Structure 1
Amino acid sequence: MMPSGPRPDDGHDKEFMITLAKGLAVLSAFGKQRPAMTLSDAAAVANLSRATARRVLRTLTQLGYVVQDGRAFSLTPRVLELGFAYLTGQDWIDRALPMMKELSEQLGESCSGSILQGVEIVYVARVPARRIMSTALAVGSRLPAFHTSLGRAQLGYLDGAEIWRRLRSAPIEAYTPYTITDMQALFDRVRADREQGFSIVDEELERGLRSIAVPVLDRTGQAVGAINLSAHSTRTTRNEMREKFLPELKAIAQRISQAPQPIS
């Protein structure tokens, strides 16, 4: 999803720091598709003026988050500190990862963990087995929440009004012939998945990709993340996922939720 500059209504909040928002917009503009950008590129992608983009890039360069090589700017490894600071606060990930690795080895399939962020999921743990997607996934990768099992497993824990708000702001497109694009159908699927306690997405995001996910809950019963298993549709049926994969995923999620350390 393409980053954008501060929203027009942000100025209504007197506590809102528009300068900080502009800096974050430039930082988030970098990525796999744009590992390096010129000043003009950054201004266009972050929806800022060239003068503002220049000040932001100079500041980020002096702080050590960006490096300049000729006309091109790129991120430095220091930006990892921001992500690691978040991950260290999500202690459920550390508890889940060894169990996810063991499960991936046992079943020979990829196991992943994610958190929900707006209308996307962000991968926070990843144990790949075989490459089953055309795009390689890693920690930090993002996918559309409404079209992934990891996303639907978490979206169901929002109230109905919030689910609709996110649905209306999400770019709904047909990734495959099986993608659900009707908003009411997506809403109903999210609610149904919450009722049954798991989500299966069958070739909706990519042909051949089938996955099943369960939510990771905190002690108040709210979803703090989700874990899933993914397989190629030629190797595993939906029924096999329910019978073979689901009990294992539920067992891991329950062990994480019942661990003595607090989930934050």
Structure 2
Amino acid sequence: MKKNNPDNQDVISDDNEEIQCVAKRDPNFMLSLARGLEVLDAFTPQRQRLTISQLSQKTHISRAAVRRCLYTLATLGMVHSPDGRSYELLPRVLTVGHAYLAGTPLAKVAQTALDNLSKSLNHSCSVATLDGDNVLYIARTAVDNLMSIDIGRGSRLPAWATSMGRVLLSALPEAELEIYLERAKLMRYTQHTVSTVAQLRNEIALARRQGYAINDQQLEIGLRSVAVPMLARGGKVVAAMNVGVPASEVSVAQIREHILPPLRRAAAELSMSL
């Protein structure tokens, strides 16, 4: 959302519409804290270094407010500017989510299950939950790093682009899914990546019908993955579990025949403990 300044230059309004709405109706809402968290949330594995202008565009928060947020975060040791122009996160920012990732019962039991599954299959395994428009990795056992970015506990990726994300999206009520699809920002990671909302909707519908999702080099060339849902008591989908394999060694047919059955068993056993 933009407004004109006295010099007739477009600038981004002080806050995005969601923050504005909450701040107006709730006197207990701390606007400055919300801005700071929005700024932190703008950093991704794909965009690890961002300028004030880029952060302002991504968050829809004014550059002046972004600058103040970065100054405060830098003072707290959570971000720094290696070149005096762009900013990147520092390890201390992990303390914000470490207590959840280390202490949540799901993460604890999931890690043990992943260790056992990974040992039997000799492939990397992960568990993730839906976190806004992204998947949040809460447990992971890595065998081979098949991705150009380092994925670990606490990593986040766009839900639409991952096998776990599509499984989780397939469990959303239809109205919530449509809202997600309306705001999804699709981008081509590889030549195999779905490029339209219609294609994505079909992929999600397929995951719903099959009870699993296969991602065939849509996120990274050389990487195939398969994901299944994890259910809490009452049948609600609370997380997804996946296995990643090298495309050069494991075909899609082999995934269905050899990887999917033990993955389903592991997810079902873990679901029983939730």
Which digits, 9 at most, give the CA deviation of each residue in 1:31-70, with x for residues without a partner?
A: 6677677877766765544543454345445656457899
Does residue 1:224 correspond to 2:234, yes or no? Answer: no
Alpha-carbon distance change, 56 to 103 in structure 1, aligned in 2, over 3 angstroms = same
Change (3 A) 1:134 1:79: closer
Deviation per residue, 1:87-122 (Å, 9 max, x gap): 245312211212211221222211111111233212
**1:7 counterpart (13, 16, 36):** 16
Offset of residue 76 of structure 1: 5.3
**Which of 9, 19, 27 is residue 32 of structure 2 equivalent to?**
19
SS at match of 2:100: helix
Once the two structures are superposed, the pairs formed by residues 93-132 of structure 1 within 5 Å of their partners are 93-132=107-146
Q: Report the counterpart of residue 10 of structure 2 in structure 1.
A: none
Matched AA of 1:10: I
Mean alpha-carbon deviation: is it higher for 138-147 or for 40-49?
40-49
Equivalents in 2 of 1:216, 1:243: separation in Å?
20
The answer (yes or no) to whether the contact 1:163–1:187 under 8 Å persists in 2 is no
Cα 1:5/1:101, change in 2 over 3 Å:
farther
Q: Is the 8 A contact 1:65 1:75 kept in 2?
A: yes
Structure 1 stretches of 5 or more lacking a match?
Answer: none
RMSD: 3.0
- Which letter maps to 1:91? P
Does structure 1 retain, via aligned residues, the 8 Å contact 2:15–2:61? no
Query: Aligned pair in 2 of structure 1 residues 103, 52: CA closer, same or farther (>3 Å)?
Result: same
3-state DSSP class of the match of 1:95? helix
* Cα distance in structure 2, aligned partners of 1:189 and 1:45: 27
Q: TM-score if structure 2 supplies the norm length?
A: 0.79
Greater shift, 10-19 or 214-223, is seen at 10-19
Q: Which moved more, 1:166-175 or 1:69-78?
A: 69-78
Moved more, 81-90 or 93-102: 81-90
In the superposition, relative to structure 1, how do residues 224 and 90 fare at CA in structure 2: closer, same or farther (>3 Å)?
Answer: farther
Q: Which residue of the other structure, out of 170, 176, 185, is the alignment partner of 1:162?
A: 176
Q: What displacement does 1:210 show?
A: 0.9
Query: For 1:100 and 1:130, how far apart are their aligned partners in 2?
Result: 14
Q: Give yes or no for contact 1:6–1:18 (8 Å, CA) kept in 2.
A: no
Any gaps of 5 or more consecutive residues in structure 2? 1-12
Q: For structure 1, which segment, 53-62 or 161-170, has the greater mean C-alpha deviation from structure 2 after superposition?
A: 53-62
Question: Which amino acid in structure 1 is aligned with residue 17 of structure 2?
Answer: P
Q: 2: CA distance between counterparts of 1:177 and 1:67?
A: 35
Distance 2:187 2:83 in 1: 39
Q: What percentage of residue pairs aligned between the two structures are identical? A: 38
Counterpart amino acid of 1:193? A
Once structures 1 and 2 are overlaid, which stretch shifts more, 57-66 or 79-88? 57-66
Deviation at 1:246, TM superposition (A): 1.3
SS in 2 for 1:257: helix
Q: 1:85 aligns with which of 91, 99, 102?
A: 99
Alignment length (residue pairs): 257
How has the CA–CA distance of structure 1 residues 5 and 121 changed in structure 2, closer, same or farther, with 3 Å as cutoff? Answer: farther
Which of 239, 247, 256 is the matching residue for 2:261? 247
- In 2 relative to 1, CA 222–25 (structure 1 residues): closer, same or farther, beyond 3 Å? same
Equivalent residue of 1:103, what SS? helix
Conserved? CA contact 2:124–2:142, under 8 Å: yes
Q: Residue in 1 aligned with 2:65?
A: 52
Q: Structure 1 pair 54/10, CA: closer, same or farther in 2 (3 Å)?
A: closer
Deviation, 1:237, is: 1.6
Query: 2:3: which partner in 1?
Result: none
- Is residue 113–residue 228 contact of structure 1 (8 Å, CA) maintained in 2? yes
* Residue range with higher mean Cα deviation, 199-208 or 44-53: 44-53
**Aligned to 1:228, what secondary structure does the other structure show?**
strand
